[in-house]
Each structure stands twice: as structure tokens, then as C-alpha cells.
Amino acid sequence: MWSSCWTYSLNLSSVPGDGDSQSRWCLSQVKGAVDDDVAEADIISAVEFNHSGELLATGDRGGRIVIFQQEQESKNLPQCHAEYNVYSTFQSHEPEFDYLKSLEIEEKINKIRWLPQKNAAHFLLSTNDKTIKLWKISERDKRPEGYNLKEEDGRYRHPSSLTTLRVPVFQPMDLMVEASPRRVYANAHTYHINSISVNSDNETYLSADDLRINLWHLDFTDRSFNIVDIKPANMEELTEVITASEFHPLQCNTFVYGSSKGSVRLCDMRASALCDQHSKLFEEPEDPSTRSFFSEIISSISDVKFSHSGRYMMTRDYLTLKIWDLHMESRPVEIYQVHGYLRSKLCSLYENDCIFDKFECCWRGDDSEVMTGSYNNFFRMFDRDAQRDATLEATWENGSPGCPLKTWRVSAGSRRKRNEIGVDCLDFSRKILYTSWHPQDNIVALATVNNLYIFQEKLN
């Protein structure tokens, strides 16, 4: 089934000139190996631009972090933004074993978050299931030269030849980028960490696992404060887990967390030290007519993101993307169907576990558009003002860099027009879970299985 669909799409793409189905987005770069044989460790599990957009970090299941840097000036394609090239690669997490609980701790990077820049170096937080680390990425272009008792190549000089003292001198050298671990925040989570988020006060951050949220000071690794704890006294009474959490971008005392039941709670840290009592609950009343076995699973929040302005909040559940006004708890102000056509396929998606996929979502720099991923290497863009949406495909096979992406349609019926694909032909093994939008420019980065795609809007 997979291969026949693929051929079909190739045929479609060779049809020339279809103005309507062209988007303003074009492929900029693809990173990662192109062969079909993908090592588990190479599967990307996090994508994140830094606050200036100059750097782009990816984390993978092998515990590695690769940082790409945007080139200063693009010479060859003046109409395009500069390319991103590898800046630094390092091993952030190693596989570990918890001997007390007989549990393997995977090295997979669950989240990456950049810190606001504080000096010439860059800092990021990375986390696997249990341990959060603070990394410093810095440049070095000088090194000391001159020894008293040996030559620069290491040969020893006889002490008797010592007639005068020599102080080493720094000499220029080729630029070297170093990543060094600065802090390790460990042993605070019993369950798997799903989110980390840096506070706007620049000195604290939160980390959330299935049942608890902890607050850390960046300078202290030996203590954190528990600010949310939803663990019931009896674990058999557990009905809900925390799935995502984020700080408000401007208000230092506000954070939200989403749950597996589809609700989002907003907490005010001013009110009390322990935020078990939320101050707002964003929840949409369930529609009894569509209730099914899968209702709760598909309403689980897989990601929650504040808009840059701090006025809105976006939540992603399995089938939809919802935008909430922080002033209105009763219902979202906008709802976007990401792939509503899957509603009829929930049974098979449950069987192959796809229904538990956790899709991320992201805002455009000016909050006017949002993006999230889907299956078959499709990703969805929603223009909030124009109420327009597009389905685009992350692929390098039918277009060269700079060539506009065409838009797709997924149809339920058997008859297909150009640029249409049947629901049954979708490849569920190829999914786009992780996405990030450049904070200022219209550049997006997203991860397919082991490839990083960078797309950009055409500049005129």
C-alpha cells in the first residue's frame, strides 16, 4: 500500500502548472541521511529555535543534540534567507540504569529549551525522562602558547636550559565551538518529564512529569520546589495525568498545564506556594453525540503554547488545534481541524498505537499563523486572520530548494483529483511530531523521522 501511494504522489507532482495548489512556502534545506534504513538513535525527538532564530537545536533518541547556525549572509540566493549549517554536535544524555527501581532510563531528548542570551555564549536546557541539563555553547578562537619546561609539541626541555621565565601568550586559532554541561538537575522526578519551560524572570524554570510540576532556580541543582502535585493518595484513583506545561511569556507568576482529559489549568504562583488550586480552567464541554470509546484519548492535550503576545494559548489534541483567549475559559475562540478525516479510522489508529502520538504545535512570530504536524509527512498551516489553511508535505523528492511547495488535499472518497490523496493511502509511520517556528522570520523547522526540514516563505 505504502509504495503504490508513493508512486501516485510522484505522478501527481509531475503535472505542471497548477497555480491554486502552490503555497508561498518553499523547501530550504533537508538535514539527515536520506536512506530508508533509519537507526533508532537517529530519530529526531525535539526541534527548537533560539530566541533570535540564529540557532536551531535538534535532539534525538540517541541523546544527541545538534545545533545549526544561520549563516550571516546568503550570497547565492538573494531572495532567500540564509542557510543553517551545523554549529555544534554533542552528546547531551547517556542511557542510564536506576538500580533502586530496576528501570532503564532512556537517553532520548524529550525537550530542548533555550535560555535568553546573557553573554556571548548560548545556553539551553535539555531533558530526557528524568534528568534536566543546562548546556553552555561557546566559541573559542584563542589558545595559549609557550611552556617553560617543554616544547609546544610536548617534548620535555631539560630544566638546565631554563634561564628565564616565560609567560604563555594567547594566539589566534581556528574557531572552535564547545558545548559544556553547566548544571545537572537530577532526582526530582518520579515519573517521566514531558515539559520544561523557562520563566520570564530568567532565573527559574519548571519541569513537569505525569503527576507533578517542579520549580527550579537555574543556579541550584540540589533543590526544587513542587508546585503542582496531582498524585492521588491511592494510585488506583488516578484518572488524569499532566501532559504538557508552559510558563506565560510575560507574566512571571502564570503557568498552564494540560491534561490527558483535555483540560488546561492556569495557575497563579502569587496566590500560594503550592498551586494545587488552579485559578482558571480551560475546558470545552463534551458533546454527548460524538462520545465514543476514543473520546478521552483523542482529547488528551499533546502540547500547549502561549502566543508571543501572551494573550492567547494554543492547545493541540489528537485531531484539532484550539486557540483560547486567556480571558475566556468556557470555550476556545478558534478551532482548527488538523486531520478530521481520521475520525473514521480511530480504531486502526488505536491498534497501531498512533492514537497516542504527541503532536507539537507552534506560533508564527507575529501570532498570525499557527502550525502543527500530521501523518504522511504532512504538516498543517492555519492563517488565523484569513481563515485559510494548507496541507503541505515535507519531502525533497518533488522539488528543488526554492521551489514552492504544493498544497495537498486528503479525500475520503475513491475518486481523486490532482493533489489529492486518499485517507487509506496515508502512511502513518511517517509523522511530523516536532515543529518550531523562527521567532521573527518566516522560517519553520520540522522533523520527520530522522530528517530535519527547513522551509521558508518566499521573499518578494
Partner 1 sequence: MAGADSDDSLYPIAVLIDELRNEDVQLRLNSIKKLSTIALALGVERTRTELLPFLTDTIYDEDEVLLALAEQLGNFTMLVGGPEYVHCLLPPLESLATVEETVVRDKAVESLRKISHEHSPVDLEVHFEPLVKRLASGDWFTSRTSACGLFSVCYPRVSSTVKAEIRQHFRTLCSDDTPMVRRAAASKLGEFAKVLELEYVKSDIISLFTALASDEQDSVRLLAVEAGVSIATLLPQEDLEALVMPTLRQAAEDKSWRVRYMVADKFSDLQKAVGPEITKNDLVPAFQNLLKDCEAEVRAAAANKVKEFCENLPEDSRETIIMTHILPCVKELVSDTNQHVKSALASVIMGLSTILGKDNTIEHLLPLFLAQLKDECPEVRLNIISNLDCVNEVIGIRQLSQSLLPAIVELAEDAKWRVRLAIIEYMPLLAGQLGVEFFDEKLNSLCMAWLVDHVYAIREAATCNLMKLVEKFGAEWAQNTIVPKVLGMANDPNYLHRMTTLFCINALSEVCGQEITTKHMLPVVLKMSNDQVANVRFNVAKSLQKIGPVLDSSCLQTEVKPVLEKLASDQDMDVKYFAQEAISGEFCNCCS
What length does the chain have? 460
Q: Per rule CB under 8 A, is residue 311 in the interface with partner 1?
A: no
Could you tell me which stretch among 81-89, 137-145, 309-317, 384-392 binds partner 1 (CB under 8 A)? 137-145
Could you tell me which stretch among 74-82, 139-147, 282-290, 361-369 binds partner 1 (CB under 8 A)? 139-147
Closer by beta carbon to partner 1, 113 or else 431: 113
Q: Give the residue carrying C-alpha cell 500500500.
A: 1
Residue in 431, 415, 417 with CA at minimum distance from that of residue 359: 431
Closer by beta carbon to partner 1, 140 or else 311: 140
Q: Per rule CB under 8 A, is residue 222 in the interface with partner 1?
A: no
Position 195, amino acid: S
Among 34, 165, 175, 233, contact with partner 1 (rule: CB under 8 A): 165
- Minimum distance from residue 255 beta carbon to partner 1 (Å): 13
Q: Within positions 267 to 286, which residues make up the interface with partner 1, using CB under 8 A?
A: 269-273
Helix (H) or strand (E) holding 10: helix 2-13
Could you tell me which stretch among 48-56, 63-71, 167-175, 334-342 binds partner 1 (CB under 8 A)? 167-175
Q: Per rule CB under 8 A, is residue 118 in the interface with partner 1?
A: yes
Among 7, 72, 163, 414, contact with partner 1 (rule: CB under 8 A): 163
The residues, ordered by sequence, that sit 6+ positions from 435 with a Cβ below 8 Å of its Cβ are 47, 360, 361, 362, 371, 372, 373, 379, 444, 445, 446, 447
Among 18, 40, 151, 219, contact with partner 1 (rule: CB under 8 A): 219
Among 2, 15, 140, 151, contact with partner 1 (rule: CB under 8 A): 140
Could you tell me which stretch among 142-150, 304-312, 365-373, 383-391 binds partner 1 (CB under 8 A)? 142-150
Is residue 257 a contact partner of residue 244, using CB atoms and an 8 Å limit?
A: yes
Position 44, amino acid: I
Q: Per rule CB under 8 A, is residue 167 in the interface with partner 1?
A: yes
d(CA 364, CA 367): 5
Residue in 57, 54, 112 with CA at minimum distance from that of residue 83: 54
The residues, ordered by sequence, that sit 6+ positions from 276 with a Cβ below 8 Å of its Cβ are 228, 229, 230
- Minimum distance from residue 134 beta carbon to partner 1 (Å): 10
What is the SS3 assignment for 11?
A: helix
Closer by beta carbon to partner 1, 34 or else 169: 169
Could you tell me which stretch among 103-111, 264-272, 382-390, 451-459 binds partner 1 (CB under 8 A)? 264-272
Is residue 13 a contact partner of residue 5, using CB atoms and an 8 Å limit?
A: no
Is residue 415 a contact partner of residue 363, using CB atoms and an 8 Å limit?
A: no
Could you tell me which stretch among 51-59, 201-209, 315-323, 325-333 binds partner 1 (CB under 8 A)? 201-209
Q: Per rule CB under 8 A, is residue 156 in the interface with partner 1?
A: no
Q: Per rule CB under 8 A, is residue 166 in the interface with partner 1?
A: yes
> Other C-beta atoms within 10 Å of 158: how many?
7
Among 91, 148, 344, 440, contact with partner 1 (rule: CB under 8 A): 148
Q: Within positions 173 to 192, which residues make up the interface with partner 1, using CB under 8 A?
A: 182
Query: How many of the chain's residues bind partner 1 (CB under 8 A)?
Result: 43
d(CA 124, CA 137): 8
Q: What is the DSSP string of 369-422?
A: EEEEE-BTTEEEEEETTTTEEEEEE--STT--TTSEEEP-EEESSS---TTEEE
Among 22, 29, 138, 411, contact with partner 1 (rule: CB under 8 A): 138
Cα distances (angstroms) measured from residue 226 to each of 34, 116, 273, 274: 44, 24, 9, 7
Q: Per rule CB under 8 A, is residue 232 in the interface with partner 1?
A: no
d(CA 99, CA 315): 37
- Minimum distance from residue 10 beta carbon to partner 1 (Å): 51
Could you tell me which stretch among 10-18, 84-92, 133-141, 346-354 binds partner 1 (CB under 8 A)? 133-141
Q: Per rule CB under 8 A, is residue 142 in the interface with partner 1?
A: yes
Position 74, amino acid: S
d(CA 47, CA 84): 14
d(CA 330, CA 281): 8
- Minimum distance from residue 194 beta carbon to partner 1 (Å): 26
Locate 248 and state its grid cell. Answer: 506565560
Q: Per rule CB under 8 A, is residue 413 in the interface with partner 1?
A: no
Among 2, 150, 344, 368, contact with partner 1 (rule: CB under 8 A): 150
What is the SS3 assignment for 213?
A: strand
Q: Within positions 237 to 256, which residues make up the interface with partner 1, using CB under 8 A?
A: 250-253
Q: Per rule CB under 8 A, is residue 288 in the interface with partner 1?
A: no
Phi, psi (deg, nearest 5) at residue 14: -80, -5
Contact residues: partner 1, CB under 8 A: 116-121, 123, 136, 138, 140, 142, 144, 147-150, 159-170, 182, 200-203, 219, 250-253, 269-273
